[in-house]
Structure 1
Amino acid sequence: MSIFDDVNQFLETRLEEFLRDHPHLELQALEEQLREQEADTLRLIRNLEAEEKRAQDAILALSAEIKLWHGRIDTARAAGRRDLMQAALDKEASLLREGNQRWGQMQGTQQRLARAQELLAQVRQRRQEVHRKAEQVRSKQQAQQQQARAQTASSWESSDWQPRAQVGRTPASAFDPLEAEFQRLETDSELDDLKRNLGKR
Structure 2
Amino acid sequence: MGLFDDFSQFLEARLDEFLRNNPHLELQALEEKLRDQEQETRRLMADLRLKEKQLQEEILITAQEIQRWHIRIEKAKAGGRMDLAEPAQAHEAALLREGNQKWGQMEMLKERLKQTETLQQKIQTRRQEVQTELTQAQAARAAQTEQRWAVNGWNQSTSYIHNSADPLEQQFSRWEAQEELEQMRRKMGK
> Which protein shows a greater Rg?
1
- CA–CA separation in structure 2 for the residues paired with 1:135 and 1:69: 65
**Structure in which a larger fraction of residues adopt helix:** 2
Q: Is this contact kept in 1: 2:20–2:26, CA < 8 A?
A: no
Q: What does the per-residue CA deviation read over 1:80-105, in whole Å, with 9 as the maximum and x for residues that have no partner? A: 11221111211111111110000000
The Cα shift of 1:131 comes to: 1.2
The Cα shift of 1:135 comes to: 1.0
Secondary structure of 2:163's partner? coil
CA RMSD, Structure 1 to Structure 2 (Å): 2.6
- CA–CA separation in structure 2 for the residues paired with 1:147 and 1:164: 30
Listed as ranges, the matches of 1:92-131 within 5 Å are: 92-131=92-131
* Count of equivalent residues: 156
Aligned-partner residue type, residue 92 of structure 1: E
Sort the Cα spacing of 1:129 and 1:22 in 2 relative to 1 into closer, same or farther, 3 A: farther
- CA–CA separation in structure 2 for the residues paired with 1:94 and 1:137: 63
The Cα shift of 1:23 comes to: 4.1
Partner in structure 2 of residue 195 of structure 1: none
- CA–CA separation in structure 1 for the residues paired with 2:20 and 2:120: 23
Partner in structure 1 of residue 75 of structure 2: 75
Aligned-partner residue type, residue 140 of structure 2: K
TM-score, scaled relative to structure 2: 0.73
Q: What does the per-residue CA deviation read over 1:38-82, in whole Å, with 9 as the maximum and x for residues that have no partner? A: 111111111111110111010000010000011011101111112
Partner in structure 1 of residue 62 of structure 2: 62
Aligned-partner residue type, residue 58 of structure 1: E
Sort the Cα spacing of 1:74 and 1:43 in 2 relative to 1 into closer, same or farther, 3 A: same
- CA–CA separation in structure 2 for the residues paired with 1:145 and 1:22: 14
- CA–CA separation in structure 2 for the residues paired with 1:112 and 1:26: 32
- CA–CA separation in structure 2 for the residues paired with 1:41 and 1:106: 19
Q: Runs in 1 of length 4+ with deviation above 2 angstroms? A: 19-26, 153-170
- CA–CA separation in structure 1 for the residues paired with 2:120 and 2:163: 61
Identity of aligned residues (%): 42
Q: Is this contact kept in 1: 2:163–2:169, CA < 8 A?
A: no
Partner in structure 2 of residue 152 of structure 1: 152
